[in-house]
Chains A and B, each alone.
Chain A
Amino acid sequence: MKKTAWIFLSPMLVMVTIFFFIPVILTIVLSFTDMDYQFQWNFVGFSNFKDIATDFIIPKVTTNTLIYTFTTLGLFNVGSALLISLLTTSIPDKWGGFFRTLWMLPRLTPSVVYGLLWLWIFDPTEHGLLNFMRMSMGLPPQNWLYRAPMFIVVVANGFIGASMGMLIFTAAIKAIPIDYYRAALLDGASWWMITRKITLPLIKWQVLFVTAYQTLSLLTSFEYILIITDGGPVFRTEVWSLYTYHMAFSNYRFGYGAALSVVLVIMGIIFAIAYLRLFKFEALMQKPKVEVD
């Protein structure tokens, strides 16, 4: 049996080794070199890490990363996702499905098209959608991307990010036995009371999963920021992963970029451990106390 299990697991193990473990090891090795556009493996010890410690952009990048990650997470990827799931499962399923499909639309749009749409909406001249609307009401155009770049980046990411949590939470809510709700309704519980006392406690593990998964995902995601603001204006939306990208692929400092990636991986691991402790992951993984055959 054990042998069969290994045979079935082996294709995925090979894939994970090739596409995850080997790149991780290469990145770690690379972080100790000063590789540039000449692709030479010149080992320089901890020089890149020392550079990170003295790089005065890093505090700004770190703050941006935390603001971006936790604001997007709180407002959209978990917050809005939870709210949409709760609301759309409280109305007839036909309408619930319709609203959930609407929220899926950004996810279905290619990232570059989606990013360019946001750029067009917030274009600082009269050619942008929002400014066009303002001007038709007699108001002057606004420099949206200058005034609130982080907000725009959070919203653009959030509209896409909310759909994943929405699907998981909706599935989890629908898996709760209907008897609980009927009993609560018979006892005269309100919608809020049912949500607080029945739904939320029973989807706690899904909330844990989405929170942990999306934190790690947001820490490493930057494609919409790259398209919409490219980290600007003046580093105001430069997050750690984008800074890594800029160092490696705009400035061709691959060694320094790899060192930044290694630090990001360490940050991710710290967050993951913190979540597992906070949400008591051991309890989630324990065997159920009652087994039903």
Chain B
Amino acid sequence: MKKLAVLLLIFGVIIFAKDITITAWTVGPDNPSFYRFDNLKTAADRLNKMLEAAGADVRVKVDGFFDTTDWSEFKQKLLFGFQSKKKFDILCSGHDDIGAWAEAGYIMPLDDLVKKYWKETYYDIIPSLWESVKYKGKIYGIPQDTEARPFYINKQVLKKLGWSDAEINALPEKIAKGEFTLEDFVKVAREAMDKGLVKWGLFHRPKKGIDYFQVFTSFGADFYDEKQAKFVFNKEQMMRVYDFFYKLTNVWKITPNSMIGTPWSSIHKEVTSGNVLAWMGGTWNWAEWKRDYGKTEKELEDMFLIAPFPKSKNYGRPNTLSHPVVYMIPAHTKYPELAFLLITLATAPDLNMRHAVESGHLPIRWQETVLPEYHKDFIMQQGTKLLPYSGFIPNDSKFDLFNTIIFEGIQWAEGGQDAKTVVNLVAMRLKSQLKDKVIIVEK
């Protein structure tokens, strides 16, 4: 009887040892980015086939979720997950979280593992992306995708304003060269509104986010000192930025003063219905509009010009911003090697490409740029053209707090507070919340 019990126990252990579950917490929040999770499942399927062929009695299963609520909800979930050491082995989030989470010891450095698979996979990652996943010289994330934030301009409206096809087609180039500025755009937007061709000239995101930093670059406003690893708030430069936001809703009135707080769905409906001249969006919007707003590829191509965000007349440069989403491995996982192997397999060119096509993101590997899908996809081609104008936000542990306060200033400015007052309020608030982590430049 005893022998039988021991045998059953051993048999049970073998049976249960066969499945290793890797839990992945992934995020969109846009619906079409579901391959961030599904690619890990496909990677596990591929790995299981190899294990089966090798006669190994271990199988890998991917469990977890793909979150479509919003970034802050997801990040809260992760933060408390780290702290309570919840069972998850892979996570994906924005590269800008690396600073905070690496500093707190929540995620593990991946340099050795990257080296291990360098020749098979990682040699092929577009080099600039590695910069976005480093903190204090160490790699903490594997790029999952990247994107550009195009300035979408409704070309049908330009046509109605009397622009020739040649003028319309030359506009992205003129913006990229700095020959067509933000001030020029405001004039066109006002004209289109006055003639009743659109209800609004410019829409921007309705919540806190990083898109606004494009405006800073357009006005030549610095916001980070890499050497000192401190934020910079240059009052004179930021006065121009906040003055722009103030004038958008209060003087030029090309943006509604209720822009911040408007539901996303209403914004997308207005933009895709042709009621807005320009939208400060992202390449992934293209996929959302097709998937969730009933637009066809042709309708979108007929409607929008894609350009970098224009520079202002006297300052800055035309630009866009990339915000790579990256896979990371929590420091408390029991299976770091296996989790990393799954990430590596999910980084296969075909899998990453299907994510890029489905979600309107850009490829992360050179090998993807020779795939036929890349050459067929309009937004991917156009988005890639914007990458030379691209930058990243800093991987700093206090970035989110800095961003929150900067965004409060935008709310004040759009709400009718003049730029000088806003700059002083924001400077005070930055000093009180970030203390010596911020440099306030008075002039």
Contact of A124 among B76, B266, B400 (CB under 8 A): B266
Query: Are B433 and A146 interface neighbours, CB within 8 A?
Result: no
Distance to closest chain B CB from A273 (angstroms): 32
A135-185 contacts to B, CB under 8 A, are 143, 145-146
Cβ-based interface call for A4 (8 A): no
Q: A37-B104, A127-B266 are in contact. Are A232 and B76 (CB under 8 A)?
A: no
Return the CB mask of A69-99 against B: 1 if under 8 Å, else 0.
Answer: 0000000000000000000000000000000
Contact of B428 among A38, A39, A56 (CB under 8 A): A56
Cβ-based interface call for A223 (8 A): no
Query: Are A253 and B104 interface neighbours, CB within 8 A?
Result: no
**Which partner residue on chain A sits nearest B270 by CB separation?**
A125
Q: Which residues of B contact A37 (CB under 8 A)?
A: 79, 100, 104, 397
Cβ-based interface call for A190 (8 A): no
Distance to closest chain B CB from A32 (angstroms): 17
B222-267 contacts to A, CB under 8 A, are 256-258, 260-263, 265-266
Cβ-based interface call for B128 (8 A): no
Per DSSP, chain B at the interface is: helix
Query: Are A233 and B260 interface neighbours, CB within 8 A?
Result: yes
**Which partner residue on chain B sits nearest A229 by CB separation?**
B261
Q: Which residues of B contact A249 (CB under 8 A)?
A: 76
Distance to closest chain B CB from A156 (angstroms): 15
B262-294 contacts to A, CB under 8 A, are 262-263, 265-266, 269-270
Cβ-based interface call for B17 (8 A): no
> Could you tell me how many residues of chain A have their Cβ less than 8 Å away from some Cβ of chain B?
29
Cβ-based interface call for B432 (8 A): yes
Query: Are B256 and A143 interface neighbours, CB within 8 A?
Result: yes
Assembly CA distance A236 to B429 (angstroms): 17
**Which partner residue on chain B sits nearest A123 by CB separation?**
B266
Q: Which residues of B contact A233 (CB under 8 A)?
A: 257-258, 260-261, 411, 414-415
Q: Which residues of A contact B412 (CB under 8 A)?
A: 234
Cβ-based interface call for A252 (8 A): yes
Distance to closest chain B CB from A237 (angstroms): 10
Q: Which residues of B contact A39 (CB under 8 A)?
A: 83, 104
Query: Are B257 and A125 interface neighbours, CB within 8 A?
Result: no
Cβ-based interface call for B381 (8 A): no
Distance to closest chain B CB from A229 (angstroms): 6
**Which partner residue on chain A sits nearest B262 by CB separation?**
A124
A225-246 contacts to B, CB under 8 A, are 229-230, 232-236
Q: A125-B266, A249-B76, A252-B79 are in contact. Are A232 and B425 (CB under 8 A)?
A: no
Cβ-based interface call for B404 (8 A): yes
**Which partner residue on chain B sits nearest A228 by CB separation?**
B261
Contact of B433 among A38, A229, A253 (CB under 8 A): A253
Q: Which 10 A-B pairs have the closest CB atoms?
A: A143-B258, A234-B415, A146-B258, A38-B104, A125-B266, A124-B258, A234-B411, A127-B266, A251-B401, A232-B261
List 22 A–B pairs whose Cβ atoms lie within 8 Å, in order of A's numbering: A37-B100, A38-B103, A51-B432, A54-B432, A56-B425, A56-B428, A119-B263, A124-B256, A127-B265, A127-B266, A128-B266, A145-B258, A146-B257, A146-B258, A232-B260, A233-B261, A234-B415, A235-B411, A249-B76, A251-B400, A251-B433, A252-B400
- Chain B residues with a Cβ under 8 A of chain A: 72, 76, 79, 83, 100, 103-104, 256-258, 260-263, 265-266, 269-270, 397, 400-401, 404, 408, 411-412, 414-415, 417, 425, 428-429, 432-433
Q: A123-B262, A124-B256, A236-B415 are in contact. List 18 more A-B contacts (CB 8 A).
A: A56-B425, A56-B428, A123-B266, A124-B258, A124-B266, A125-B262, A127-B265, A145-B258, A145-B261, A232-B260, A233-B257, A233-B260, A233-B415, A234-B412, A249-B76, A250-B72, A251-B400, A251-B404
